[in-house]
Amino acid sequence: MSMAKSAKLKSTAERRRRPRKRAEQQRALETRGAILDAAIAEFAERGFEGASIRAIADRLGLQHPLITYHYRSKDILWRAAAEHAFAQIRAGWDTLAPENSDLPPLARLREEYATLFRYTVAFPEFHRFMRQEAFTNNPRLNWVAETVVTPLLGRLIPQIIAAQKQGLLPSVDPILFHYMMVSLTATLSEFGPEMQATSGLSAENAEVVEAYWRLVDATVFGKDAREMPVRIKEAGKR
């Protein structure tokens, strides 16, 4: 066989392998995403100490070794799950209110907190996942505060201060405003079952979701930020 023909055959085989390799990489990404979503749900329900990698595998119908192949320990899995959740929130921010955007501070904040709200409606386990760690001062809470939350605050706090200087938000410590907004975004995920028991309203109903955020929007951001449409209708869909 000539060298030219051999090189051509090698090139053809390589081209055939590439789509297969990309498909395998995509499947691996999807598997890791499913593992991390299931981990958030398990940690949210049982806490770090009560959760187990075997129970997370059972949620997905996977073999236990497949999870430990990707995440060697429960602690590594917890940290990866936290990063996974906040990365999705940050991706939403970068799409709707990128840092180089010409949106005014209040309009950007409106989009960013609406994004957090949409995520918590789609994944109510997220706030429960975080709340489990807030009960005690433990290494995971300190790690997530330093590694994940503080960089996000570095984005939000200057916007809050800028909106305050414009007289559009109350003059309080901006961190208080932030955690008030976190509480408001968590209301349906935290009190949804109680609300349904007392009123029959379901936090999974898209109309209820939209009505709730319109209330928050009008109460906190008012007419000053309302020129920018907030896409909330998909929030009730999982």
Per-residue pLDDT reduced to its tens digit, 176-231: 999 999 999 999 999 999 999 999 999 999 999 999 999 999 999 986 555 544 44
Residue 86 structural domain: 3-236
Model confidence pLDDT, tens digit, residues 11-36: 665 666 656 566 656 777 788 899 99
pLDDT the model gives residue 3: 58
- Indicate the number of domains in the chain: 1
Give the pLDDT confidence score for residue 20 in this predicted structure.
Answer: 58
Structure tokens at 199: 């009123």
> What does 10-67 look like in DSSP terms, one character per residue?
HHHHHHHHHHHHHHHHHHHHHHHHHHHHHHHHHHHHHHHHH--HHHHHHHHT--HHHH
Phi, psi for residue 231 in degrees, rounded to 5:
-85, 100
Angle (CA) 32 36 41, round 5°: 150
Q: Residue 61 carries which side chain, given as an amino acid letter? A: G
| For residues 64-76, average pLDDT | 91
Q: Model-level pTM? A: 0.81
Instruction: Give the pLDDT mean for 39-60.
Output: 94
Q: At residue 175, what is the residue type? A: I
> Which has more confidence, 142 or 9?
142
Would you state the pLDDT for residue 136?
A: 76
Distance in angstroms (rounded) separating the CA atoms of residues 224 and 109: 12
- Buried-exposed string 151-176: b where 16+ CB fall within 10 A, e elsewhere: ebeeebbebbebbbeeebbeeeebee
Q: What is the mean pLDDT of residues 123-132?
A: 91
Question: Of 208, 197, 221, nearest to 114 (Cα)?
Answer: 221
- Is the pLDDT at 235 greater than 50, yes or no? no
pLDDT in the model for residue 228 = 46
- The number of beta carbons lying within 10 Å of the beta carbon of residue 101 is 13
What CATH number does residue 155 fall under?
1.10.357.10
**Residue of 175, 145, 159 whose CA lies nearest to 79:** 145
| pLDDT value for 226 | 52
> What is the predicted pLDDT for the residue at 231?
47
Token pair of 44 as six digits? 């949210």
pLDDT of 149 reads 94
pLDDT, tens only, 77-118: 999 999 999 999 999 999 988 888 889 999 999 999 999 999
Distance from C-alpha of 58 to C-alpha of 44, rounded to nearest angstrom: 16
* pLDDT of 53 over the 90 cut: yes
